[in-house]
Chains A and B, each alone.
Chain A
Amino acid sequence: MDHKKKLSSAGKMGLLFSLPAVIYMLVFVGYPTISNFILSFKNVDVFNFARSADQQFVGIANYRELFSDPNSVMLKSVGNTLLFTVCSIFFQFIIGFILALLFSKRFPASSFFRGASMISWLLPVTVAGLLFKFIFASSGGIANQMLMSLHLIKKPVDWLLNGNTAMVAIIVANIWIGIPFNMMLLITGLTTVPADIYESAKIDGAGKLQTLFYITIPVIKPAIMSVLTLGFVYTFKVFDLVWVMTKGGPINATELVSTYAYKLSFEEFEFSKGAASANILFLILFIVGLFYIRLINQEEEVM
């Protein structure tokens, strides 16, 4: 009896402590999320923005319009976002993994190199984007100069002015930003591998590659899955980098769902259509997010 009472009062305390933050997030994230959902089924634009009497529900008209156009920018931006995300993650992960294997070893200046390379992840993305815009500039850009001195290209490439090369440029920039994130999480994962497993593998005559594929990777699989799903979520919603480097151009070649939603709302002032395309972004992230949450739950149960 006493015990039960104690529990419920403890529960109340816990709830009370968390309430301010929960309410704040409900007001400034929860409510906008729901209201974005509702907005996407209305016809709000710059003309009836201030007069709610003129705003009507139009069902799925916004979604239908976004997707039905034969040259649908919406479809293109979903494809672009997938391409951008998959390429970014693929390289970030591979490079991050190799660096994690290297920097988890002990050698002179190892922790200094590892620490210093974190900076790219911390920089304001706006500045990183401008930096890469300059690196890939047609004239004066160092990317062209380096590739030409290596004889990989014959004349300067207009990186940001051609669709395909612009996509390459934003992916390269995003990889640079994301490497430290992958590396650090994988290093943390690697520290969980007990040293004696490696020793017994060595005694059993396992080679380096065998050890990597049959011991290291299976043991740190939870860390790998976290890195990949979190990486997907964070990359899929990238906005600043692309907005600064290409603004989605040239001619929508690097248009992502995020930049398209922004343009619809704040350049064309089609608020409801902007809301609808942001919802598409949300839907895809939501599915991946659920996957991630199931993943952590499994991990917690194991622990």
Chain B
Amino acid sequence: MKYEKRDRVLSFIAGLIIFIILMFPLYWMIVTALKTQVEIFEVPTPLWPRKLTLKPFLDQFAESSTTLQGFKNSFIISVSSALIATILAIPAAYGLARFQFHSKKLLILFFLMTQMLPSTLILTPLYIMFSKAKLLNSFIAPILADATLGIPFSVIILRTYFLSVPKELDEAARIDGCSPMQSFFRVMMPLAKPGVIVAAVFSFVYAWGDLIYGITFITDPNKRPITSNIYNYVQQYQTIWNSTMAFGIIAIFPVVLIFIFMQKYIVSGLTNGAVKA
């Protein structure tokens, strides 16, 4: 018994040390955003701000700054693309979970393969396609492209949710006179709600984190998503690290919120989406 207690204490200490090491880069981002430039380049640089300053953050919210515009652009792009991805993935996942047909396996493989494709592969053709359709420099281009990141993941993850709902519930609804559509909306959908949330959240996070589509399809500074904005900001203000880090904190804000309030869903998404497939 005593042995076990010592084991737990040692495990706790090891866990704490690992936690500190893994979290250090994030701590460093926050601390840097609160330091003055002078302190940042001091040798050795202090591990916490001696002269706390909010100026880097205030600069990002200044009228001349495009940070908030970028945030808004990213929000529009990510929400739209998550909506497209989720709305298309729900019926597809249901169809692939509940019905038997001979091309079913092929379709599941198709989604698995598309999930693994590199964005660079389809980037040039998409660019040509969007340029012909006069969609460059509009939100539509990154929205359409970002949805392709969310759809395969969402189909795969939602299928496992639909598979876990007992078939009998579906059948009972049919016997009670529901059409396939009605039983889908009234019985299956409410039960698969956690899966729908995971799918939507991941599609949003994928789109929010996208850089390559954003920098390629949108060159108008007022329409850039926030990732492309911060990338261009650094090109321009190379070593103004406190402002860059403040910008970074603003850019990760929605993701951190999602992380804090939906951790349970994210963990299930990560494990179900990758292993089970």
Contact = CB atoms under 8 A, between A and B. Distances in A.
Interface of A: 7, 10-22, 24-25, 28-33, 35-36, 39, 49, 99, 102-103, 105-110, 113, 115-128, 130-135, 137, 139-140, 142, 145, 149, 176, 179, 181, 184-185, 188-189, 223, 226, 230, 233, 236-237, 239-240, 243-244, 257-258, 261-262, 265-266, 271, 274-275, 278-279, 281-282, 285, 289, 292-293, 296
A185 B45 contact: no
Contact of B255 (A20, A31, A123): A123
Contact of B118 (A14, A108, A137, A239): A239
Nearest to B37: A140
Interface in B1-34: 8-9, 11-12, 14-16, 18-19, 22-23, 25-26, 28-29, 32
Contacts of A226: 274-275
A188 B160 CA distance: 15
A236 B118 CA distance: 9
Nearest to A30: B114
Given A22-B107, A110-B15, A266-B216, A36 B121 contact: yes
Given A99-B18, A271-B124, A285-B117, A13 B95 contact: yes
B189 to A, nearest CB: 13
Given A39-B125, A184-B267, A125 B211 contact: yes
Interface of B: 8-9, 11-12, 14-16, 18-19, 22-23, 25-26, 28-29, 32, 40-41, 43-45, 84, 88-89, 91-92, 94-96, 98-104, 107, 109-114, 116-129, 144-145, 147-148, 151-152, 155, 180, 205, 208-209, 211-212, 216, 227, 230-231, 234, 239, 241, 244-245, 248, 251-252, 255-256, 258-259, 263, 266-267, 270-271, 274-275, 277
B263 to A, nearest CB: 5
Nearest to B132: A50
B195 to A, nearest CB: 15
Contacts of A243: 211-212, 231
Please name the 10 residue pairs, one residue from A and one from B, whose CB atoms are nearest each other, closest first: A14-B99, A17-B95, A11-B101, A237-B118, A21-B92, A32-B125, A32-B122, A124-B209, A18-B95, A18-B92
* Most B-side CB within 10 Å, residue of A117, A120, A134: A134
B271 A185 contact: yes
Contacts of B88: 20-21, 24
A95 to B, nearest CB: 9
B270 A140 contact: no
A46 to B, nearest CB: 12
A278 B144 contact: no
Contacts of B255: 122-124
A139 B41 contact: yes
Nearest to B32: A134
B151 A21 contact: yes
Contacts of A135: 25, 28
Contacts of B116: 233, 285, 289, 292
B100 A11 contact: yes
Given A21-B91, A176-B25, A237-B120, A117 B19 contact: yes
Contacts of A128: 25
